[in-house]
Amino acid sequence: MAEESFVEEIIDDVEDIFQPKPGGLIDRHRQEKARREAAQKEAENAAERVEENASFAVKVTHISPEITITNTVNIAAGASAQILPLSKYRYRATVIASATVTLAENAGKALGGQGFTLAANTPFIIFSRAQLYAAAAGAATVSVLAEVYAPETK
């Protein structure tokens, strides 16, 4: 170990006196050595586990929606109806039904019972902009309150 440090000191002293030429043998050797060391460090970094949270905190300000839309839909026994249309400005909607209904993304799934069963008189909050259908085995009234952002103006 002492011999290596002694040799390195001699090399450093000689290099101070005789500067290597750019692109010369010594310069290329140093560049290749630096490239190998960088590749080794990269391999070590890639092998390490990431132990920090991968997300960054961003400060935001919540702005309440400007528009409230209400709708009540009467659904006959064994039928379905669209209760929420596709809306790119909707923030939140609250749905409540007078009887048990099935909520789904299309009428076929709702009628087939392949959806979310909403019990009677239970408010259900939806944070989605997608369309929504409801189907009822017996007659039902479904009320919807949607909060919508106003469209951007140019």
**Whether the predicted pLDDT of 1 surpasses 70:** no
Higher pLDDT residue, 109 or 59? 109
Mean pLDDT of the chain: 86
Give the least confident one: 15-29, 91-105, 115-129: 15-29
| pLDDT tens digits, 17-66 | 777 778 887 778 888 888 999 888 888 877 776 666 656 666 677 788 98
Token readout for 38 is 């960088």
The reported pLDDT for the residue numbered 18 is 72
Place 139 in a pLDDT band, splitting at 50, 70 and 90: very high
Contact 125, 60 (CB under 8 A): no
Instruction: Tell me the mean pLDDT in the region 62-89.
Output: 93
Residues 6+ apart with CB under 8 A from 133: 80, 81, 82, 83, 103, 104, 105, 106, 107, 109, 110, 115
Kindly list the distances between the CA atom of residue 28 and the CA atoms of 7, 34, 75, 81, in Å, as whole numbers in the listed order: 20, 10, 81, 75
Q: Domain ranges for the chain, please list them.
A: 2-47, 67-148
Q: Topology of domain 67-148, per CATH?
A: Jelly Rolls (2.60.120)
Contact 145, 93 (CB under 8 A): yes
Token readout for 136 is 């009822």
Higher pLDDT residue, 133 or 30? 133
The reported pLDDT for the residue numbered 26 is 75
pTM beyond cutoff 0.75: no
